[in-house]
Amino acid sequence: MIIESAEVVVTSPDRNFVTLRVTTDDGLVGLGDATLNGREQSVVAYLAEHVAPLLIGRDAHRIEDTWQFLYRGAYWRRGPVTMAAIAAVDVALWDIKAQAAGMPLYQLLGGASRSGLLAYGHASGPDLPSLFEEIRRLRGDGYRAIRVQTSVPGLDKIYGISTGHYEPAGRVPAPVEEDWDSRSYLRHMPGVFEAVRAEFGPELPLLHDVHHRLTPIQAARLGKALEPYDLFWLEDCTPAEDQEALRLVRQHTTTPLAIGEVFNTVHDYRTLIADRLIDYVRSAVTHTGGITHLKRILEYAGQYGIRSGIHGPTDISPVGMAASLHLGLALHNFGIQEYMKHGARTDEVFQQSFTFVDGLLHPGSQPGLGVRLDLSSAKKYPYQTAYLPINRLKDGTVHDW
């Protein structure tokens, strides 16, 4: 089964998506997601200029060899652009292999370990009444676990707050600037979780994302202050590249910790996993070298009692989401899957077969990934410049985002 073409498709139905479309000589089409939020065109160039030409004529079945060829063979290893490009090739080849086998992809990864995947949705609001309303709306949609974000008094515009649809990347010519003050945030958050617990009771799993904004000692204080509210996890509490920071946080709190949406290889996790400094691995299939590499990371993590929390915001395309679901269904140490619904235009471009019923996701039973890319719909929505926001302290200093 020989690769005949590898085409990069860029489309922006509700936001930008980069998809690799690999075709074999026997007519199978495999899809891989390579969307890197706010930096999409860098992966487009990497794939189109450096990777796609090397795929032509290769045996589509040789997934491991192709992965090593692209990773070791480039000499310049790791990094989000390289690993998103490798991920797209890897997922497209898994899609093809599973279609050739006539099976849903999870069957090739070991088969189902469970009947469905627990998913969490995003609730946010500028104040408690609107936050509660959002939580109720998500509960009504079936979600059994909820991420809670809210405004902080004195700050105008902060990460993760929107009503209805959440989309951090704006279609703007330059990044929007948001505000931050860690002391105000630290004073405010425990009261928010106290109120949410009082309203919704002890059972509902609650998650919170700090988005890399605290120092280790501030994060330790927050984790400790939130212990009475029994969080499912506290995410990205410190800047992610500093693995040692979480050692200090861990010494002070039993609140479970999750990190990794900006990581791209197992080496980013080495200390975190071996020294048991985290509880959940947050990497996306799309940004971590595909199913082949994320599966390795997660199986390694599983030996230390660490579970998956695969990244699934709207910037993971339906192709990336389907890949996460097949992997999550097969993994023994699955934890939870982030799931934010895409917009109607995205669903028109990417025809999906995964389901969300009673709060549980399932990748479906179609051979392969179960996603079809409608090229004529994709063409209707050309790329639009978009950036993630940046974050400044009150004195104007650029802060972590």
* 364: helix, strand or coil: coil
Stretch that binds ligand KDG, among 43-51, 76-84, 272-280, 311-319 (CB under 6 A): 311-319
| Number of CB atoms found within 10 A of residue 115's CB | 8
Tell me the per-residue interface mask from 100 to 139 with ligand KDG, x by CB under 6 A, - otherwise: ----------------------------------------
By a kind-dependent CB cut-off of 5 to 8 A, residue 326 interacts, out of ligand KDG, Mg ion, none, with: none
Is residue 313 within the footprint of ligand KDG (CB under 6 A)?
yes
Tell me the per-residue interface mask from 242 to 281 with Mg ion, x by CB under 5 A, - otherwise: -------------------x--------------------
- Residue 355 to residue 177: CA distance in whole angstroms: 36
Number of residues interacting with ligand KDG: please give it, by CB under 6 A.
Answer: 10
Choice between 88 and 109, CB closer to ligand KDG: 88
Residue 166: active-site member: no
* Contacts of Mg ion in 197-236 (CB under 5 A): 209
Is residue 95 within the footprint of ligand KDG (CB under 6 A)?
no
Least separation, in Å, of the C-beta of 178 and ligand KDG? 12
Strands 355-357 and 360-362: antiparallel
Choice between 55 and 336, CB closer to ligand KDG: 336
With CB under 6 A as the contact rule, the residue among 192, 231, 338, 386 that binds ligand KDG is: 338
Q: Copy the structure tokens of residue 111.
A: 């088969």
Least separation, in Å, of the C-beta of 348 and ligand KDG? 22
By a kind-dependent CB cut-off of 5 to 8 A, residue 213 interacts, out of Mg ion, ligand KDG, none, with: none
**Residue 150 burial class via C-beta count within 10 angstroms: exposed 0-12, middle 13-18, buried 19 and up:** buried
Q: How many helices (H) and strands (E) does the chain have?
A: 14, 18
**Residue 122 burial class via C-beta count within 10 angstroms: exposed 0-12, middle 13-18, buried 19 and up:** buried
For 293, how many CA atoms within 13 A lie in the half-sphere containing its CB? 32
* Contacts of ligand KDG in 34-53 (CB under 6 A): 37
Residue 280: active-site member: no
Choice between 21 and 208, CB closer to ligand KDG: 208
Residue 14's alpha-carbon distances to 167, 171, 374, 381, 382, in angstroms, are 10, 10, 15, 9, 11
Place of tokens 């984790």: 223
In the set 71, 106, 143, 159, the catalytic residue is 159
For 170, how many CA atoms within 13 A lie in the half-sphere containing its CB? 12
Choice between 6 and 245, CB closer to ligand KDG: 245
Residue 347's alpha-carbon distances to 113, 149, 151, 285, 333, in angstroms, are 28, 26, 30, 20, 30
The alpha carbons of the chain give a radius of gyration, in whole angstroms, of 20
Choice between 63 and 131, CB closer to Mg ion: 131
Least separation, in Å, of the C-beta of 1 and ligand KDG? 34
By a kind-dependent CB cut-off of 5 to 8 A, residue 338 interacts, out of Mg ion, ligand KDG, none, with: ligand KDG
Phi-psi region of 335 (alpha: psi -120 to 50; beta: other; left: phi over 0): alpha
Query: Would you mind telling me the total number of residues written for the chain in this entry?
Result: 401
Least separation, in Å, of the C-beta of 286 and Mg ion? 14
Residue 16's alpha-carbon distances to 62, 121, 162, 180, 194, in angstroms, are 30, 21, 19, 27, 37
Least separation, in Å, of the C-beta of 367 and ligand KDG? 29
Tell me the per-residue interface mask from 157 to 186 with ligand KDG, x by CB under 6 A, - otherwise: -----------x------------------
Number of residues interacting with Mg ion: please give it, by CB under 5 A.
Answer: 2
Name the β-bridge partners of 145: 120
Is residue 261 within the footprint of ligand KDG (CB under 6 A)?
yes
Asked if residue 249 lies in contact with residue 215, where contact means CB atoms within 8 angstroms, the answer is: no
Is residue 209 within the footprint of ligand KDG (CB under 6 A)?
yes
Asked if residue 18 lies in contact with residue 3, where contact means CB atoms within 8 angstroms, the answer is: no
In the set 71, 122, 166, 211, the catalytic residue is 211
Least separation, in Å, of the C-beta of 282 and Mg ion? 7
Question: At what angle are helices 290-302 and 63-71 packed, to 10 degrees?
Answer: 90
Place of tokens 């998103």: 84
Is residue 315 within the footprint of Mg ion (CB under 5 A)?
no
Residues that bind ligand KDG (CB under 6 A): 37, 168, 209, 211, 261, 311, 313, 315, 338, 388
Residues that bind Mg ion (CB under 5 A): 209, 261
Residue numbers annotated as active site: 159, 211
